[in-house]
Amino acid sequence: MKSLLEKIPRHRKGLIYISVTAFLWSTSGFFIKYLTINAFQISLYRSAIAAITVYSICLLRGKKLKFEFDKVSNFAAVFYAGILILFVAATKMTTAANAIFLQFTAPIYLVVLEPIFLKTKFEPKNVITIIICIGGMILFFFGRLEIGSIYGNLIAIGSGICFAMFSLLLKYKKVIHKSENTLNYVITGNALVAVIASIIIFPNFEITVNEGLILVYMGAIQIGISYMIFNEGIKYVSATESMIIATLEAIFNPIWVFIGIGEVPSVYSILGGVIIFGAILWRNFSKPQKAMIIE
């Protein structure tokens, strides 16, 4: 497997890693809705397990973790914690469609922020892809994108902003600071979520065995391992690219819903999915831009 991966061009490898990450992330919406415990209970156990998972894997791989507390590192950890808490809360407070749609406004912010902070070349192709993806997602959720709770919608937008800022700071650390020490943000961010959530839910810590098993999956794989894959993939692609590819999560999400509860996607959903897949394939397999590669 390792020799096979080494044969794949680095930029293409990054695209594959981010796509796998999006697939794993897509399972969160169904389980958040399925679990009857509240958003902060989910956040506590999921993040605590994720922090332990990432830390343990790093130790087993002999990877040294240097916990830095400079401004960039601190903000990265805070924004990462914001992604986790806000998305879970938004999914509980509004429809899953609203939550995921509004979270994936992240690429819109990155199109503007990345050229400013990372001095990257402005890519018109990214703007075209984002416009097409937004159009596809509107079709995808047509008839299901309800107004819902205004608070839930605002929280989902906040999650999207945190997602964009975390991705930008992660890339900033790698490109400007020449640092590979980024998994510490995942550990500290999850630990921060666990601390905040435990204070809020105290003393309601009881969960069932079934809930515990689901939370182990969500923490260890859906959050922990997936972000380790994301951390590897973003070495080879731009922050904006990573967010564009991550919109695949919005396609996989209803597939999990169909498997879990038998909900059949509408014609609009299928059409929107085809449009988004087409835009992402066009973006990824057309002439690649010169992405900043970290050796």
- DSSP letters, 60-117, are HTT-------SHHHHHHHHHHHHHHHHHHHHHHHS-HHHHHHHHTTHHHHHHHHHHHH
- Mean pLDDT is highest, among 175-184, 191-200, 248-257, for 191-200
In a domain? residue 1? no
Average pLDDT taken over every residue of the chain: 81
| Assigned domain for 212 exists | yes
Q: Which of 33-42, 83-92, 267-276 has the lowest mean pLDDT?
A: 267-276
pLDDT at 15 over 90: no
Averaged pLDDT for residues 32-48: 93
- Quick: pLDDT tens for 115-134: 777 777 777 777 887 888 78
The pLDDT confidence band at residue 157, using thresholds 50, 70 and 90, is: confident
| Residue 213 included in any domain | yes
Q: Give the pLDDT of residue 135.
A: 84
More confident residue, 285 or 162: 162
Question: In which band, very low, low, confident or very high, does the pLDDT at 294 lie, cut at 50, 70 and 90?
Answer: very low
Q: CA–CA separation, 272 vs 262, rounded Å?
A: 20
Q: How confident is the model at residue 293 (pLDDT cuts 50, 70, 90)?
A: very low
Residue 149 lies inside a defined structural domain of this protein? yes
Whether 143 shows a pLDDT value over 70: the answer reads no
Query: Which range has the worst mean pLDDT, 74-78, 168-172, 285-289?
Result: 285-289
Cα–Cα separations (whole angstroms), residue 198 to 203, 213, 215: 8, 19, 15
In a domain, 291, yes or no: no
- When pLDDT is cut at 50, 70 and 90, the band that residue 48 belongs to is very high
Whether residue 7 lies inside any domain: the answer is no
> Whole-angstrom Cα distance, residue 268 to residue 38?
31
Domain range enclosing 196: 12-285
pLDDT reported for residue 159: 92
Rg over alpha carbons for the chain, rounded to the nearest Å, is 18
| Domain assignment present for 163 | yes
Please compute the mean of the pLDDT values over residues 15-19 and round it to a whole number: 89
pLDDT tens track for 192-222: 999 999 999 998 899 999 999 999 999 999 9
Cα distance between residue 164 and residue 109, in whole Å: 7
206 found inside a domain: yes
Closest-CA residue to 166 (of 183, 179, 178, 145):
183
Q: Say how many domains are in the chain.
A: 1
Q: Which of 64-73, 80-89, 212-221 has the lowest mean pLDDT?
A: 64-73
pLDDT at 176: 67
Residue 60 has pLDDT above 50, yes or no: yes
Task: Determine the pLDDT at residue 3.
Answer: 61
